[in-house]
Amino acid sequence: MAIDTTSTRAVTTRGSGQRRAATPASEHRVRLRGRIFTYIAMSVFGIIFMFPLVFMFVSSLKPDAQILQDVDSPMAFVPAGDISLDNYFGVFDRVPVAQFLFNSIFITVLTVGLGLIVNSMAGFALSRLRWKGRAVVMAMVIATLIVPFETIAVPMVYWVAQLPTLVIEGGLLKYDFGWLNTYEVQIVPFVANAFSIFLFAQYFSTIPTSLDEAARIDGASWFTIYRRILVPLSGPAFATVAILTFLPAWNQYLWPLMVVQKEELRPVMVGMQYFFQLNTAWGEVMAYTSLITLPVLIVFLIFQRAFVSSIAASGVKG
Amino acid sequence: MTVTPPTVAAETPRRATRRIRSARGRETWAGLGMIAPAALLLLLFLVIPVILAFTLSFTNARLISPNPPRFVGFDNFIRVFTTDPVFLQSAWNTFVFALVVVPVQAGLGLLLAVLVNRRMRGTTFFRVVFFIPVVTSIVVVSILWKFMYQKDGLINSMIDTLTFGAWAGVDWLNNPDTALGAIIVLSIWQAVGFHMIIWLSGLQTIPEELYEAAKMDGASPWRQFTNVTWPGLRPTMVFVLVTITIAALGLFVQVDVMTQGGPVNSTSTIVFHAVRKGYEQQEIGYAAAISLIFFVAVLIIALIQRWLTREKD
């Protein structure tokens, strides 16, 4: 959205080009110097932002002894010498990476997917429908925005440990207490999100209500209007919310650390702990961190424009 | 409008109201039905935990205990401020962290935004580069920097090269004088790209004509910044400052992964202390009291910031 200024940019560059012909040579030199300075500054920052990650990927390909040796020279950033995927094989031997990756993907997809449904419906109810108590509910939703998760994390462990749940035991559906060590404890609490509701409500309110009225006359129910009219028209809002909820879901750490002790249910971030036993094998650690960073990085690079405009959209509403 | 057929007009009043009323009723039910899932979830996993945090903070509740929680009045709060030096140290560390991170990260983010907002080839590429650490998990970032901060690690060797061998080397994370600073650096490195984007979207709301006019009046680039750019960024600034402050006060992952609060509690933070007390030592009631204090602090600071940066009409 706001980031995409290519069209206006083209116009103004052409304009400044015309002006440049008329400006004295000295001013032209000043502008050129400014450009060179900007490029140098951006490149310096670029190096600062990239070197740790380049170091991580390069080190994941080297044996430990060579990593330590290369640290003292620019070789730390060059994938040369004894290069292999041994560290990656080592990672798969040491921990159930495939299981961790599956858990994280499963948890992330469900959290984001259910969140899109639940929060867009709530946004619809708050922005499109007139009902008693709407103002109160809206105020409460906004009020929940100011509660940082960290403040309720510890009491919430106590709370979810007492929630009722259904379990299948010996072929029978039984009633039990305690959500610890489950998938649902990692998903359900994060589905409803006040900020997502808010973004949906904002977006829906920009769509003309004449569409609803026409559909009402044709006898459509409110849910049909939501499903058939609002949802298909709100692609950008869905993309924004998906992106904004995807990263925190994938990066969950504090919460699963507290509520999941079973290895087979742990997400990738918590799985990291297995590498910090007696002797840290840094090559393997770098391989593991590369492994869990690459999927997100690839998704980001593909949808780079959408990511950036989603983040920008989150700020405009502040 | 006025040419409504008389027959219909004569018949309308009662039936029309009834029809409207039933439509209203259906709209209410639809509204309630569609808000219900979100409302129920927010109630279960936000409102109740907040109430629970408040209630538990006045009890001696333990995470796993055969005895039911007992009401202890303000004991937890008194204990926090009088007999828990680690809490006071943690609060101080959190304060120092926020005090450095908020202005530096906001300022650096703005600088980057101004750089990549110039109409030049390649700025889109640099936007992506500056943003990459943001999509990298803070857990991964913490582990990576922990490795680089080792005594014989990459950071020391790079400083050594840049100073032509004059650098003795520091064991960054095992030295109480440098550990918090080391965490500050990587935290800024990781998150600054996020705020660059927010600033950038603020910059792009400023109309181009204002710059044209300023240039026409012969304003230098710096004057253009102070007189056009900065006033136009006011609303963005409030958002950036509030989000960085709240994130900074919640510092946890970096500490948990890199130092476990050490050495000698020099990197312990409020949230880390609450988790250590409530989860590891199972003193939920006491941890709830710390959480409540933290929440009040966040609230006060956010309100102060909003007030300080309010629109002056």
CATH number at residue A258: 1.10.3720.10
Same domain, A82 and A156: no
| Closest residue, chain A, to B299 (C-alpha) | A146
**What does the pLDDT average to over B192-207?**
90
**B174 has pLDDT over 80:** yes
Same domain flag for A200 and A102:
yes
The yes-or-no verdict on residue B22 having pLDDT over 70 is yes
Domain co-membership, A99 together with A85: no
The secondary structure of residue A226, as a DSSP letter, is I
Residue A19 has pLDDT above 50, yes or no: no
pLDDT digits (tens, 9 = 90+) for A140-178: 888 887 788 888 888 898 889 888 877 777 777 777 778
Is 60 exceeded by the pLDDT of residue A124?
yes
Q: What letter would DSSP give residue B59?
A: B
For residue A242, count other CB atoms closer than 10 A to its CB. 17
The verdict on residue A318 lying in a domain is no
pLDDT band at B39 (very low <50, low <70, confident <90, very high): very high
Q: Quick check: A122 and B37 CB within 8 A?
A: yes
Query: Rounded to a whole number, what is the distance in angstroms from the first to the last CA of chain A?
Result: 17
Q: Return the structure tokens found at A250.
A: 């994938």
A239 touches chain B (CB under 8 A): no
Write out the two tokens for A188.
């359900």
Residues of A in contact with B203 (CB under 8 A): none
Last residue of a domain, one of A43, A66, A89: A89
Least confident of A13-27, A95-109, A121-135, B111-125: A13-27
Look at residues A73, A89, A105 and tell me which one is the last residue of a structural domain.
A89
Residues of A (64-123) whose Cβ lies below 8 Å from B:
68, 71-72, 76, 118-119, 121-122
Domain co-membership, A37 together with A118: no
Distance in Å, alpha carbon of B116 to nearest chain A alpha carbon: 8
Q: How close A296 gets to chain B, by Cα (Å)?
A: 7
Q: Given A2, A56, A251, which is nearest B144 (Cβ)?
A: A56
Q: Which of A158, A251, A254, A291 to probe the B interface (max B CBs under 10 A)?
A: A158
**Is residue A255 domain-shared with residue A270, that is, in the same domain?**
yes
Residues of chain A with Cβ-Cβ distance to B253 below 8 Å are 253-254
Is the domain spanning B79-308 CATH 1.10.3720.10? The answer is yes
Find which of A9, A16, A30, A49 to mutate to test the B interface (most B CBs within 10 Å of its CB): A49
Cβ–Cβ gap A296/B236 under 8 Å: no
Mark which of A89, A118, A142 sits at the end of a domain. Answer: A89
**CA gap B182, B176 in Å, rounded:** 10
Chain B nearest-CA distance from A91, in A, is 15
Question: Are residues A49 and A76 both part of a single domain?
Answer: yes
* Mean pLDDT value across residues A216-236: 88
Chain A nearest CA to B89, separation (Å): 19
Residues B267 and B183 sit within 8 Å (Cβ to Cβ):
yes
Tell whether ipTM is more than 0.85.
no
pLDDT of B186: 95
Closest Cα in chain A to B147: A282
Which of A225 and A317 is assigned the larger pLDDT? Answer: A225
Backbone angles phi, psi at B200, to 5 degrees: -60, -45
Which of B110, B143, B198, B292 best probes binding to A when mutated, by most A CB atoms within 10 angstroms? B143
Task: Tokens 């940066």: give the residue.
Answer: B309
- Answer whether residue A215 shows pLDDT above 80: yes
**Co-location of A85 and A147 in the same domain:** no
Q: Which domain holds residue A231?
A: 95-275
Q: Using CB atoms, pick whichever of B48, B136, B147 lies closest to residue A293.
A: B136
pLDDT at A200: 92
A221 and A116 fall within a common domain:
yes
Task: Say whether B52 and A155 touch across the interface (CB within 8 A).
Answer: yes
Q: Is residue A31 part of a domain?
A: yes
In a domain, A152, yes or no: yes
Statement: residue A17 has pLDDT above 70: no
> What is the pTM for the complete model shown?
0.84
Distances (CA, A) of A315 to A206, B180, B306: 18, 29, 15
Q: Which of residues 187-226 of A touch B (CB under 8 A)?
A: 188-192, 194, 197, 221-223, 226
Question: For chain A, how are helix, strand and coil distributed in percent, rounded to 5?
Answer: 75, 5, 25
The pLDDT score that the predictor gives to residue B19 is 62
Q: How many domains does chain A have?
A: 2
Cα distances from B27 to residues A141, A172, A216, A218, A229, in angstroms, run: 20, 41, 11, 16, 17
Residue B50 Cα to chain centre, angstroms: 18
**Is A315 within 8 Å of B240 when comparing Cβ atoms?**
yes
Contact A121 B205 (CB under 8 A): no
Q: Helices B138-148 & A25-59, crossing angle to 10 degrees?
A: 90
Domain boundaries, chain B: 1-56, 79-308
> What per-residue confidence (pLDDT) applies to A5?
39
- For B227, the enclosing helix (H) or strand (E) is none
Higher pLDDT pick, B109 / B163: B109
Q: Find the residue in B nearest to A306 (Cα).
A: B128
**A109 shares a domain with A241:** yes
Nearest to A118 among B41, B115, B198 (CB): B41
Interface of A with B in 115-134 (CB under 8 A): 118-119, 121-122, 124-126, 129-134
Say if the Cβ atoms of A156 and B45 lie within 8 Å.
yes
DSSP state of A75: G
- Residues A187 and A102 both lie in one domain: yes
Q: Which residue has the higher pLDDT, B267 or A12?
A: B267
Judgement on whether residues A126 and A230 belong to the same structural domain of the protein: yes
Reported confidence tier of residue B4, pLDDT bands at 50, 70, 90: very low
Mean pLDDT score, B208-236: 86
Q: Does B13 score more than 80 pLDDT?
A: no
pLDDT band at B30, cuts 50/70/90?
Answer: confident
Q: Which residues of A touch B239 (CB under 8 A)?
A: 315, 318
Residue of A nearest to B252 (CA): A254
For residue B59, pLDDT beyond 80: yes
Side chain identity at residue B112, one-letter code: L
Task: Please check whether residue A301 lies inside any domain of the structure.
Answer: no
Q: Using CA coordinates, name the residue in chain A closest to B64.
A: A158
3-class secondary-structure state, position A165 = strand
Q: Which two tokens stand for residue B249?
A: 């006060």
The pLDDT score that the predictor gives to residue A24 is 67
Q: Is the per-residue pLDDT at A72 higher than 90? A: no
Question: Which percentage of chain B shows pLDDT scores above 90?
Answer: 41
Per-window interface: A 146-175 vs B, CB < 8 A = 146-148, 150-159, 161
Confidence category of residue A295, pLDDT binned at 50, 70, 90: confident
State the smallest CA–CA distance between residue B189 and chain A in angstroms.
7
pLDDT of residue B1: 41
Q: Kindly tell me if the per-residue pLDDT of A43 is higher than 60.
A: yes
Give domain status of residue A317, yes or no.
no
